Structure 1
Amino acid sequence: MNAELLLLIGGLALLDTLSPSTLGVTVYLLLTDKWKVTQRLFIYLITVAGFYFSIGVFLMLGLDFLFDAFSGIIQNRIVSWTIFIVGSILFIVSFFIPAKKNSELPTPKSKSIVSMVALGFTTSIIEVGTAFPYFAAIGIMTSSNLSWMEWSAILAGYNFIMVLPPLMLFLLYLMIGKKMQKPLEKIRLKITEHSGSALSWVICIVGIILIFNSLDYL
């Protein structure tokens, strides 16, 4: 494990913080929950991080076979051209994804502990299909022949970075208190207005990755 690998995976983790749902739920709880916000927020964030960590462990333990199979398939010229075309389409489409005006972010129907856990699973399941930076990081770790202690530590760090923006927002809320009301409302408005922007960035980057991975076999 080297510094270059850690920087690359750290950059992918920072890209994953663009996901609006986790931050949107955090803002909602800080705006509406005045009593047990600490407990409920941490249960929600632990659920999200735990879900992604479990998915990462599952993929790391079983990805060697999939990675070898994919490497063999991608060397086929027809498959490579198909991947190149798909990557080019994703790259182009990413520039035409509109911002979702007045879109609704997931919010808890109640504020019980069970509701927070359910919301954590719900938002994770909804977004795991578009967690392309996370899958790219897992692929990089698989090809780097890391020990289980190394990749498990990196996965834990990756997931911590993913939930770091909500944690920092929560710390500001604890320090400033009521002065955070208006900034939180503005943040919530921005998230709902521009929730399509993060998706466009992710699609663009995935398109570029597909294009460059197929060039050697065209």
Structure 2
Amino acid sequence: MNAGLIGSLVLLALIDSTSFGTLLIPIWMMLAPGRLHASRLLVFLGTVAVFYLVLGVALTAGAAALLDDIRPLLDTTPFQVVQLLLGIVLLVLAFRTGRKKEGAEPGRLMRWRERAMTGEGSSKALIALALTAVTLEAATMLPYLAAIGLLSAAELALPLTAAVLAGYCLVMILPALVLLGARIVAANAVQPLLVWVNGWMTRSAAETTGWILGIAGFLLASNAARELGLFDAIDTLSGAK
């Protein structure tokens, strides 16, 4: 592994750390009325991290073999056309998603939060909340999928890949852990920050999702257009004029 790969993975992990399940819900849980149950929040974050880790190892383990099998397909014109269309669809979805106005916080999620942090709900319910959160944000796991792609391209041994992914997942939940520690040590000082971050993330959730979808769509569409020679054709037409 080189410094460039490590830096890219850390950056992607920090982007992932600002997602719905890794930061917004933990902040909501810290803002719940009553005494803070730190252990329950740790169970939530641990579930999220383990879910990501297991998914990442499974995808990485199958990625190399799958890539060898489908590599001839990736170079075909039909596949590149499908990739171009998928990129365009993501760009359209990015525009539509970014324009959505945020509403109130989901009532069911808020009720789960109250039960989780007051101790009325079981650990199974808390784990179910974490799994529900990461499942709902599966469409925006693009930074994690990009990290898996980088690790697959690096052709690391599976144990080392698993260790790197474990470090990625730790960095991913680190901001929430730092906020939790600050909330325990200096609750009154941290409370305004939590309220502000919660409000900002709630207001900008749709816009952030739109940016993620837009970047992914642009990368897919531009790569397909380049492989199909569309840019060369445009240059030729421009030169002819």
TM over 0.5: yes
TM-score normalised by L of structure 1: 0.88
The residue that corresponds to 2:232 in the other structure is none
The residue that corresponds to 1:73 in the other structure is 73
Deviations 1:167-194 (A, max 9, x none): 1211221232123333322222222221
Q: Aligned runs of 1:10-29 on 2, under 5 Å?
A: 10-29=10-29
Tell me how far 1:200 sits from its aligned partner.
Answer: 1.2
Q: Aligned runs of 1:61-140 on 2, under 5 Å?
A: 61-91=61-91, 93-96=93-96, 97-104=98-105, 106-107=109-110, 108=112, 110-111=115-116, 112=121, 113-140=123-150
CA distance in 1, matches of 2:81, 2:72: 14
**Compared CA separation, residues 36 and 180, structure 1 to 2 (3 A):** closer
CA distance in 2, matches of 1:14, 1:69: 32
Q: Secondary structure at the match of 1:129?
A: helix
Q: State which drifts further: 141-150 or 175-184.
A: 175-184
Deviations 1:118-148 (A, max 9, x none): 1111111211232111112112211221012
Q: Taking every aligned residue pair, what percent have the same amino acid on both sides?
A: 28
Deviations 1:29-59 (A, max 9, x none): 2122543521011000000000110111111
The residue that corresponds to 2:44 in the other structure is 44
Unaligned runs of 5+ residues in structure 1 are none
CA distance in 1, matches of 2:207, 2:144: 18
Instruction: Tell whether the 8 Å contact from 1:84 to 1:214 is kept in structure 2 after alignment.
Output: yes
Q: Secondary structure at the match of 1:6?
A: helix
Q: State which drifts further: 40-49 or 140-149.
A: 140-149
Q: Secondary structure at the match of 1:183?
A: helix
Instruction: Tell whether the 8 Å contact from 1:56 to 1:155 is kept in structure 2 after alignment.
Output: yes
CA distance in 1, matches of 2:64, 2:50: 22
**One-letter amino acid matched to 2:163:** A
Instruction: Tell whether the 8 Å contact from 1:100 to 1:195 is kept in structure 2 after alignment.
Output: no
Q: Secondary structure at the match of 2:84?
A: helix
Aligned residues: 218
Is the aligned partner of 1:183 residue 2:184? no
Tell me how far 1:212 sits from its aligned partner.
Answer: 4.4
